Amino acid sequence: MIWRCSAGAELFSLMALWEWIALSLHCWVLAVAAVSDQHATSPFDWLLSDKGPFHRSQEYTDFVDRSRQGFSTRYKIYREFGRWKVNNLAVERRNFLGSPLPLAPEFFRNIRLLGRRPTLQQITENLIKKYGTHFLLSATLGGEESLTIFVDKRKLSKRSEGSDPSANSSVVTLETLHQLAASYFIDRDSTLRRLHHIQIASTAIKVTETRTGPLGCSNYDNLDSVSSVLVQSPENKIQLQGLQVILPEYLQEHFVQAALSYIACNSEGEFICKDNDCWCQCGPKFPECNCPYMDIQAMEENLLRISETWNAYNSEFEESDEFKLFMKRLPMNYFLNTSAVMHLWTMDSNFQRRYEQLESSMRQLFLKAQRTVHKLFSLSKRCHKQPLIRMPRQR
């Protein structure tokens, strides 16, 4: 979870007492296939927009960039080990013993400088930008490594169709990539060599390897001397607490409001919720703070690709053998009424099956276009300039 969590590192120094517990080792494999365009708009879409708290996540940013380049599927294999479980004893002692928090003098000084009625901008500049919005309650230190394969299914399928069927070893399929990803932790070097060879020979995949912290307990005699990193997973969760709980009561409500405006509005406006709807009340310097232009542009480009695919489907149908054969059978020396055309249509079962394939593809494409338009309207509803939308139409 990445919520401007410089606070995690900053408040390690503010709250320096930690409890070191037992060693745990966790390894697993995760294969993810995520297609960003295939999900309907949900109430939490704003979390991943350029106004949300997660858009700064490096993993999410990489996925968005790859998705815009056409890499719609992601395979990821991942493992980590948790070396140390750390707890914030300063907060525990305050909760159970009523002990005062050992906060740094500089932190106290910044609170005093705010006064009794600070503005949201003052809270943002003096507290949030320096210490973040949350501090760490508990976490796991250890190491992790992962292999991520981004796949452009369209290029992969074209490459497979154009390959010689007798040369099966050269054909790369999704199943091949899945098997390679699964063998990463068994034979890392040969797996990476094969993947890099495929990446060079084809633009259908992009491979990313990430290794952080001490990788493998058996490689070190004393893990205490090895630098670790924060790891997060279903087994090793990072628990955060809002910074407002350690502030004086008169500052808490204003801090929450400033934090929401900082996270959701990038400090370009004030975050407001009313009638089950939330938005940013833009400041005078940022009149378009509610308009995520990058996301809107991506949706418009997606609609353009859908229209191009729609036209390509129609062209493929007109170039098909079934269509050409049907046209040859039509009489050319007199006009045909609708009944005559329908009679010829019902007599040609191959042509009907080919047309049903076209209808099925068009139906899926149209539903995808509808979802994209719905999301586009949601993103642009507070923009001063509305996007120009053209839906594909049945011929």
Residue 372 one-letter amino acid = T
How does residue 255 score in pLDDT terms, banded at 50, 70 and 90?
very high
The answer on pLDDT for 220 being more than 80 is no
Question: Based on C-alpha coordinates, what's the Rg of the chain?
Answer: 28
- State which of 29-43, 58-72, 268-282 shows the largest mean pLDDT: 268-282
- Average of pLDDT values for 3-20? 35
Bridge partners (DSSP) of residue 230 are 141
- 162 lies in a domain? yes
What is the residue-averaged pLDDT of the chain? 75
- How much of the chain, in percent, has pLDDT values that exceed 90? 3
Q: Give the pLDDT band of residue 171 (cuts 50, 70, 90).
A: low
Which has the minimum average pLDDT: 63-77, 183-197, 280-294, 349-363? 63-77
What is residue 40's predicted lDDT score, i.e. its pLDDT?
40
Stretch 270-294: mean pLDDT: 84
Query: Is residue 336 a contact partner of residue 330, using CB atoms and an 8 Å limit?
Result: yes
Assess whether 336 and 196 both reside in one domain.
no
251, 315: one domain: no
Are 159 and 261 part of one and the same domain? yes
Tokens at residue 314, please? Answer: 């129609």
* Positions of E strands within 185-296: 205-212, 229-231, 239-242, 269-274, 277-282
Residues 6 or more apart whose CB falls under 8 angstroms from that of 81 comprise 24, 25, 26, 27, 142, 143, 144, 216, 217, 231
Residues 162 and 95 in one domain: yes
What is the residue range of 327's domain?
293-380
**Position 143 in a domain:** yes
Q: Residue 27: its pLDDT value, please?
A: 33
The predicted structure's pLDDT at residue 256: 92
Listed in sequence order, the residues at least 6 apart from 19 whose beta carbon sits closer than 8 Å to its beta carbon are: 85, 86, 87, 89
Is the same domain home to 235 and 90? Answer: yes
Q: What is the pLDDT of residues 187-217, one digit of tens each?
A: 888 888 888 888 888 778 888 888 777 655 4
Asked whether residue 129 is assigned to any structural domain, the reply reads yes
Encode pLDDT of 118-139 as tens digits: 988 899 998 998 888 888 888 8
Residues in the chain: 395
Asked if 244 and 349 sit in the same domain, the reply is: no
Task: For residues 111 and 21, state if they share a domain.
Answer: yes
Q: Are residues 21 and 142 in the same domain?
A: yes
Q: Which residue has the higher pLDDT, 323 or 11?
A: 323
**What is the SS3 string spanning 90-111?**
HHHHHHHHCCCCCCCHHHHHHH
More confident residue, 134 or 90: 134
Residues 153 and 298 reside in one and the same domain:
no
Q: Is residue 113 part of a domain?
A: yes
How confident is the model over 292-321, as a mean pLDDT?
88
Q: 29 or 369: whose pLDDT is higher? A: 369
Q: How far, in Å, CA of 281 to CA of 207, rounded?
A: 41
Residue 26, pLDDT > 80, answer no
Give strand pairing partners of 277.
274
**Structure token pair of residue 377:** 């309207």
17 has a pLDDT exceeding 60: no
Q: What is the DSSP letter of 128?
A: I
On the question of pLDDT at 71 being above 60, the answer is yes
The more confident residue out of 234 and 127 is 127
Work out the average pLDDT over 312-341. Answer: 86
Residue 116 tokens read as: 């009794």
pLDDT over 70 (residue 4): no
Tracing tokens 């045909």 back to the chain, one arrives at: 336
Classify residue 46: in a domain, yes or no.
no
Higher pLDDT, 16 or 278: 278
Decide if 387 is inside a domain.
no
> Which of 53-57, 151-155, 346-350 holds the top average pLDDT?
346-350
Among the residue ranges 59-68, 120-129, 189-198, 308-317, the one predicted with the least confidence is 59-68
> Among all chains, which residue has been given the structure tokens 């060599």?
193
List, in order, residues 6 or more apart from 290 with CB less than 8 Å away. Answer: 51, 269, 279, 280, 282, 382, 383
The pair of three-digit structure tokens given for residue 357, joined into one six-digit string: 């394939």
- If asked whether residues 322 and 262 sit together in one domain, one would say no
Residue 37: pLDDT above 50? no
Q: What is the pLDDT of residue 263?
A: 86
pLDDT at residue 177 greater than cutoff 70: yes
Count the domains in the chain. 2
298 and 256 in one domain? no
- 53 vs 245: which has the higher pLDDT: 245
In our burial notation (b when 16+ CB lie closer than 10 A, e otherwise), range 355-373 reads beebeebbeebbebbebbb
Of 293 and 171, which is predicted with more confidence? 293
Greater pLDDT, 64 or 237 = 237
Q: Of the candidates 222, 239, 270, which is a domain's last residue?
A: 270
> What pLDDT is attached to residue 336?
80
DSSP 291-321: --HHHHHHHHHHHHHHHHHHHHHHHHHHHSH
Tell whether 44 is covered by a domain.
no
Q: Are residues 243 and 326 in the same domain?
A: no
Q: Is 120 among the domain residues?
A: yes
- pLDDT of 390 over the 60 cut: yes
